[in-house]
Amino acid sequence: MRPLPQLALLLTLAPLALAQPARPLVVAHRGASGYLPEHTLAAKAYGHALGADFLEQDIVLTKDDVPVVLHDLYLDAVTDVARRFPGRARPDGRYYALDFTLAEIRQLEVRERVNLKNGEAQYPARYPAAVAPTGLRIPTLEEELTLIQALNRSSGRVAGIYPEIKAPRWHRDQGRDPSRVVLPVLARFGYADKTAPCFLQCFEWEEVRRLRGELGWKGRLVQLIGGAGQDGAGTDYGWLVSEAGLQAVAAVADGIGPAIGRVVTWPAAGSPAQVTDLVARARALGLAVHPYTIRRDDLPRHCPDLPALQAALFGAARVDGAFTDFPDLTLAYLRR
Ligand code: G3P
Ligand code: CA
């Protein structure tokens, strides 16, 4: 598929490039993943219809170097790969997207995420994991961007994109380079500068610096920051949230995407929310703050309910945007 013609593309992007909403941005996390299997085109179309400002893409590579929209390095938690391709797992028992060609991946059916330890749905109240056939597939990045830009035109409302380079260090250990593959695609679709409705994101600090430096990315860039105790694949998240770390991030990036627990916590059941100083320190350095992930069915520890979470993030911490599995509920809160 080809991107929209240049003039149409400019007209399509113009409204958001000129005026972003005055309220915080709502990023549909893996699409409207609270309602449809994550990262399917159906979930992205629904997120668009629900009014999300941005639609997220996690990106990994196939065996033939095609960027596809998939959260895990593995295919097994969200597809029927084990049934269709028995014997193709690595010694660790996992089915890696990198070991399958696009033609093979196109044969897989996407379903709601399951917990591989017990085979049960990760989020039992969501789209039923047992539904089959779903008719849903893993999209390529190109297919997804084509859909979003077509929807922007047909709906008259521009939703931006929020692509994440997944596990670049791991890919490079395998002899692959997802950033070098993805950047030309983003450029071809018109997202390569800061006027475009796009935030490129990555968890790995080394790769964020490389994107801005060696790879010459001129668009908006966000450093993701995992929660306390999370493994950062060589990235020290504790250092990133220090004053020196934030200053270093501010020199190359436009924002940070911290785990919610780095912004607000509930120390005990019944206790009020406690807001950290991260948002204030980041914004003082000119960094936007977009925490992840609002889920009504997976709240932070001791957080009483979704209204309390959204009030803490938007009302108390005053973040600039947030990733949410339920863009309609987050928009409803912000539009009150
Ligand atoms: O990229 C923001 C958020 O999506 C990070 O968490 O694991 O869902 O990619 P993850
Ligand atoms: Ca992500």
- 210-232 pLDDT per residue, tens: 999 999 999 999 999 999 988 88
DSSP 8-class letter at 278: H
Global pTM reads 0.94
User: Is 48 tagged catalytic?
Assistant: no
Give the Cα-Cα-Cα angle 122, 126, 128 (nearest 5 degrees): 85
User: Is 71 tagged catalytic?
Assistant: yes
pLDDT for 71-100, tens place per residue? 999 999 999 999 999 999 999 999 999 999
Residue 8 pLDDT > 70: no
Exactly one of 39, 48, 71, 290 is catalytic; name it: 71
To test the pocket of ligand 1, the residue of 72, 73, 164 to mutate (highest count of ligand atoms within 8 Å of its CB) is: 164
Within the chain, strands assigned E span: 25-28, 54-61, 67-69, 114-115, 120-121, 160-165, 199-202, 220-225, 255-258, 264-265, 274-275, 288-289, 321-324
Q: What are phi and psi of 77, to 5 degrees?
A: -85, -15
Residue with tokens 């999209």: 139
To test the pocket of ligand 1, the residue of 73, 224, 289, 298 to mutate (highest count of ligand atoms within 8 Å of its CB) is: 224
The β-bridge relationship of strands 114-115 and 274-275 is unpaired
CA-only gyration radius of the chain, Å: 19
Write down the domain spans for the chain.
7-73+138-335
Architecture of domain 7-73+138-335: Alpha-Beta Barrel (3.20)
Q: What does pLDDT average to over the chain? A: 95
**What are the beta bridge partners of residue 96?**
74
